[in-house]
């Protein structure tokens, strides 16, 4: 059994798939940047607001997502040298990034509805309201 998700392992990997955190980082980063422009390190610290644990967040992954978002014109960055110490990249959401953020919200809502339907049928079929785990 997968300790994290309750699924069965196959050749050392979780067969239930778990949550695809990599892709979900994008809307989380966009929403955080909509709140205010900030640095990558501060973004990583704020991801716990979405249920990410520190052990799940690889700084390299976060910075790769930020670079990809910037390449796509969804985020801008500039060097921040005002606070003393080493210069840091300051990330800011663009208008295109805000549009994508709204599209993500629609997609996430649709996915929630599908997942709720699945759980309703699952619980009815197994006559349980308890979460397995």
The reported pLDDT for the residue numbered 45 is 94
Q: Which residues pair with 79 in a beta bridge?
A: 89
The reported pLDDT for the residue numbered 130 is 61
> Where in 1-133 does DSSP place strands (E)?
9-10, 13-14, 38-39, 75-80, 88-93
Structure tokens at 82: 């005002």
What's the average pLDDT block by block, 10 residues per block, for the chain (133 residues)? Answer: 46 57 89 97 95 87 96 96 87 98 97 95 83 54
The reported pLDDT for the residue numbered 128 is 73
pTM above 0.75, yes or no: yes
C-alpha count within 13 angstroms, C-beta hemisphere, residue 69: 31
In this structure, whether the domain defined by 21-125 belongs to CATH 2.40.50.140 is answered with no
The reported pLDDT for the residue numbered 43 is 96
Helical packing angle, 21-35 and 59-71, nearest 10°: 70
């Amino acid at each position: 059994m997968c300790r994290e998700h309750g699924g069965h392992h196959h050749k050392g990997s979780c067969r239930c798939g778990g949550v695809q955190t990599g892709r979900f980082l994008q809307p989380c980063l966009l929403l955080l940047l909509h709140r205010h422009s900030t640095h990558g390190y501060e973004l990583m610290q704020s991801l716990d607001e979405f249920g990410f644990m520190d052990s799940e967040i690889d700084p390299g992954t976060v910075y790769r997502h930020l670079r990809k978002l910037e390449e796509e014109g969804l985020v801008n960055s500039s060097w921040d040298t005002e606070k003393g110490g080493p210069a840091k990249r300051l990330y800011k959401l663009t208008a295109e990034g805000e549009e994508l953020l709204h599209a993500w919200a629609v997609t996430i809502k649709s996915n929630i509805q599908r997942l709720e339907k699945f759980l309703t049928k699952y619980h009815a079929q197994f006559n349980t309201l308890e979460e397995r785990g």
